[in-house]
Amino acid sequence: MESSPESEYIYNIIGIFHVNHTPSYKNYIIKKFHVILQVTSCGFEINVDKFEKYALDTARRYVLLYPWYYMPTTVHKLLIHGAKIIGFSMLPIGQMSKEAQESCKKYVKSFRQDFARKFSRKQNMEDIFARLLIASDPVISSLRKLPAKSSKSLSREAMALLIPPTINNEKELQMADCDSGDNNDSDSDTNWVL
């Protein structure tokens, strides 16, 4: 299969070649999308600037490789506007999925059928709300055994787009300030640093 000079020019611009110098643009675009989906769904904090550059580079290469196919709106939102959405979100974007909300539907249904009063809509909703509050209590939920999750490792490219986690030493600094005060009892063997 002969490649046209125009396609070779585009592949040279994009810089995608196998070892034997045949274009591998399909695998390249799939890999770029795989990295973007890994980053957006991992639940860690994302470096917005790096993500924006990576996504815009992916969008440019997509348009160069597939000028005959319109970019779907969801792909456009992810590649062009994804960095803005990530920058304005309060939580990491991977934690803002609908999974928790959808998994809660079965509990609401069970609470409504089995544990709520059914003669008044208002009292029915109060009972369901009370059960949801009990289920979301941190002490009670810490007693519950969590199901095992299968964790997959992220690719190197995906890890390069994340912000490395930092340890908050604020409590350690506060405890060190308390220890350096007037109270210098030598009989206190308790280590308060968390």
Look at residue 66 in the predicted model and tell me its pLDDT. Answer: 86
Q: Which carries the bigger pLDDT value, residue 165 or residue 161?
A: 161
Res 118 pLDDT > 70: yes
Q: Which carries the bigger pLDDT value, residue 11 or residue 104?
A: 104
Could you read off the pLDDT of 16-58 as tens digits, one per residue? 444 444 456 668 889 999 999 999 888 888 999 999 999 999 9
For the chain, give the percent of residues with pLDDT over 70.
68
Across the strands, what pairs with 162?
Answer: 46
Burial 6-26 (b: 16+ CB within 10 A, else e): eeeebbeebebeeeeeebebe
pTM to 2 decimal places: 0.57
The span from the CA of 10 to the CA of 25, in Å, is 10
User: Confidence class of residue 5 from pLDDT cuts 50, 70 and 90?
Assistant: low
Name every residue whose Cβ is closer than 8 Å to that of residue 44 and which is 6 or more positions away in sequence. Answer: 92, 94, 162, 163, 165
Look at residue 36 in the predicted model and tell me its pLDDT. Answer: 94
